[in-house]
Amino acid sequence: MSLLWKHFTNISSGVAQSNIAFGNIIRKTTASLKYHLSVKHPEKYQPTTSINDESNSDSESEAESGPSTQKRVNKRARLTIPRKEYYSRNDLVEEQILTNSILQNPKSEAITMSLVKMIAVDMLPLSFVEGPGLLQFLHTVCPDYTVPSRTVIRDRLQGLYDAVRNKLLLTLNKFPHVAITTDGWSSRSNCSFVTITVHGVDEQWNLCSFTLDTLEMLENHTATNTYNYLVKALNNWNLYEKVIAVVHDNARYIVAAIRDNWKSNDDIEMSVRCSCHSLQCSVETALKECHLKDCLQKVSAIVGHFKHSNKATTALENAQKKINLPIHRLISHSPTRWNSAYEMVERLVEQRDAVESVLLDKEITTTEKMKNYY
């Protein structure tokens, strides 16, 4: 039985009464009892007491064990946070109590905040804190540190986000006017997002840029839906009335969203099309010209041969070493990737001798395939 119970009386299931200040009713858990003693009666609280210490009735066995047992008893108990898949309200209260105890140690606090910042900067999942590799590393560099659960880390991340957001709001409030850039994109899992970046000039005439939001867009990319997403995000930052320009690409839905919905001054054109994207659209149109199109198709076929054949790729690397060419892979052309056509042709010219030696090797490239390349 825990030594804590000499300060409390068991009243009923789940409830205990303090023997020091009669009338105080405490929920009967070891964590809540320890917390009550440490806060209300610090003179009675013994932080070196382990929850598994035996009562005075076992004093004889402790005496027989000698000084080594007493040393183990006086060793500071190591606080651990319970790891559970599902958390009830009572579990969260207990975990918060234990967390507060852990954070009383400045070194543990510094390690926890450093861990939280690493997760935020490197965009790691919350499950990272429960990974065996991290636990082994922390046990090596700091054996006394107990990694908080993902619930605690999530709360600290929210606190870090709130602090950064409040600091950014103070900065944005100093800008009389701002411009934003926005674009829609899709992730590898085919989820649609809209990202908003704000630009302003501070009092020292320094250009400042901040990424405000990356919002998942579940609705269709229509002009009305896009406009509503932008307005909602900007209102959350108190910036809607300050926007004097919106830079975007040439997609029809975003052009219509800004042109037809956004209210602007007559002297200022709110919609500003990205000049780089406009130039890229011109280049893509030119590449559709008949002779250029046929040439690019042949170059793409050659690159595809090496991309889809491990044997050809290995032979190309061997040829590069033999001819003393840079060990570079061939580049594929993608219409949505700017300058990819130019980079594909440039790389093929660089590796021309090595590519020809592989294509002329009949053990690697068949005659039927050669007809498609020449």
Q: What is the CATH number of the domain that holds 219?
A: 3.30.420.40
In a domain, 50, yes or no: yes
**Nearest C-alpha neighbor of 37 from the set 12, 5, 80:** 5
Least confident of 86-95, 131-140, 237-246: 86-95
Domain final residue pick, 167, 192, 224 = 167
pLDDT of residue 167: 93
pLDDT band at 40 (very low <50, low <70, confident <90, very high): low
Q: Across residues 243-261, what is the average pLDDT?
A: 89
pLDDT band at 327 (very low <50, low <70, confident <90, very high): very high
In a domain, 284, yes or no: no
The amino acid that residue 117 corresponds to is K
Q: State how many domains the chain has.
A: 4
Same domain assignment for residues 251 and 181: yes
pLDDT of residue 181: 94
Average pLDDT value for the chain: 78
* Choice between 38 and 245, residue whose per-residue pLDDT is larger: 245
Name every residue whose Cβ is closer than 8 Å to that of residue 21 and which is 6 or more positions away in sequence: 40, 41
Which residue range is the domain that position 67 belongs to? 3-74
Same domain assignment for residues 243 and 153: no
Same domain assignment for residues 154 and 100: yes
Q: Return phi, psi of residue 120, to 5°.
A: -70, -45
Q: Across residues 108-134, what is the average pLDDT?
A: 90
Measured CA to CA, the distance from residue 331 to residue 300 in angstroms comes to 9
pLDDT of residue 317: 93
Same domain assignment for residues 137 and 57: no
Same domain assignment for residues 303 and 364: yes
Measured CA to CA, the distance from residue 304 to residue 372 in angstroms comes to 12
290-307 helix and 352-359 helix, angle to the nearest 10 degrees: 70
pLDDT of residue 294 exceeding 90, the answer is: no
List, edge to edge, every strand of the sheet that includes 271-273: 207-216, 192-201, 178-186, 243-248, 271-273
3-state SS class at 78:
coil
pLDDT band at 182 (very low <50, low <70, confident <90, very high): very high
The amino acid that residue 4 corresponds to is L
In a domain, 278, yes or no: no
Domain final residue pick, 215, 244, 273 = 273
pLDDT of residue 356 exceeding 60, the answer is: yes
- Pairing relation of β-strands 178-186 and 243-248? parallel
pLDDT band at 314 (very low <50, low <70, confident <90, very high): very high
pLDDT band at 190 (very low <50, low <70, confident <90, very high): confident
Same domain assignment for residues 305 and 361: yes
Q: Across residues 312-339, what is the average pLDDT?
A: 90
Same domain assignment for residues 156 and 184: no
In a domain, 306, yes or no: yes
pLDDT of residue 147: 86
pLDDT of residue 291: 84
Same domain assignment for residues 157 and 189: no
pLDDT of residue 184: 87
In a domain, 249, yes or no: yes
* Choice between 74 and 43, residue whose per-residue pLDDT is larger: 43
pLDDT of residue 47: 56
Could you tell me what percent of the chain has a pLDDT over 70? 71
Q: Residue 183 pairs with which residues in a beta bridge?
A: 195
Same domain assignment for residues 308 and 219: no
Same domain assignment for residues 187 and 157: no
Domain final residue pick, 26, 51, 74 = 74
In a domain, 81, yes or no: no
- Report pTM: 0.59
In a domain, 280, yes or no: no
In a domain, 281, yes or no: no
Q: Which residue in the block uniquely carries the two structure tokens 């029809």?
A: 252
List, edge to edge, every strand of the sheet that includes 15-18: 8-12, 15-18, 25-27
Give yes or no for a contact between 332 and 344, defined as CB atoms under 8 angstroms apart.
yes
